[in-house]
Amino acid sequence: MDEPLPVRCQDCLVRDTALCASLCDAELVALSRIGRRKTIPAGGVVTWAGDDNALCANIVTGALKVQAATAEGREQTVGLLFAGDFVGNPFTETSALTTEALTETDLCIFSRVAFERVLDKRPRLERALLERTMRSLEEARQRQLTLGRKSAKGKIAGFLLDIAEAQGGSEIELPIARGEMADYLGLTIETVSRQMTEMREEGLIDAPRGSRRVTLLDRETLRALDE
């Protein structure tokens, strides 16, 4: 019964950053048995709001957005997920949120119920998921502050600083387009664009018109704008 660790796990880019990092090799064998790889094209939907919540996954490469929408179709991005992040809601029958790929994304997918059975048997996995979920909750609450109380410029400054922190440097590559930034920050695309040109004119950032490459020139002032 010495099942070997599958190659896709041995070579996995997120073996040590995803939820799986909480498992030893023997445990990982058990989890790997119910998992399979799947590639989602950019713009592809992973889970639909309202559908029954059939799957969980780890992101191996790429990025997803978690999307909410009003009845009239106004959209709000309520979370961004990157390599190593966990996707899905174990123990929940349905969700009002849609999960969509921002870029081509490789997932390691599990059926929700099978994943729940593994959670039953692997306390370390459940603990790691609990800790992640609590971090996500704190994040979602901080974002309520941004959405409810910050100015357009403050929202954008905070977003740029967050990305810089995640990427570790002042020259950043935005993971999302202007329109997606607008959905994420509760603004319109025009407001995002105008604020970014203003920031360029004020010498706070350098960013070729329309480009996703941005250099933060004055983090001090950006931090002050972030209120």
Considering beta carbons, is residue 84 or 175 the nearer one to DNA?
175
135 neighbors 92 (Cβ within 8 angstroms): no
- Give the one entry of DNA, its own copies, none that residue 163 binds, where binding means its C-beta sits below a cut-off of 5 to 8 angstroms depending on kind: none
Q: Strands (DSSP E) along 26-130, which ranges?
A: 35-40, 45-47, 55-61, 63-69, 75-82, 86-87, 98-101, 105-111
C-alpha span between 138 and 140 (Å, rounded): 6
Which of 2, 27, 35 lies closest to 123, judged by CA? 27
What are the C-alpha distances in Å from 99 to residues 102, 151, 181? 10, 27, 16
Query: Among 3, 25, 51, 131, which residue interacts with its own copies (rule: CB under 8 A)?
Result: 131
* Among positions 121, 190, 203, 224, the unique one binding DNA when judged by CB under 7 A: 190
Q: 92 touches which of DNA, its own copies, none (CB within 5 to 8 A by kind)?
A: its own copies
Q: Which of residues 118-157 bind DNA (CB under 7 A)?
A: 151-153
Q: How many angstroms separate the CA atoms of 84 and 79, rounded?
A: 14
Given the structure tokens 């445990």, which residue do they identify? 27
175 binds, among DNA, its own copies, none (CB under 5 to 8 A by kind): none
Residue 179: name its binding partner from DNA, its own copies, none (Cβ under 5 to 8 Å by kind).
Answer: DNA
Binding site for its own copies (CB under 8 A): 66, 68-72, 74-76, 78-79, 89-92, 95-97, 123, 126-127, 129-131, 133-138, 140-145, 147-150, 154, 185-186, 226-227
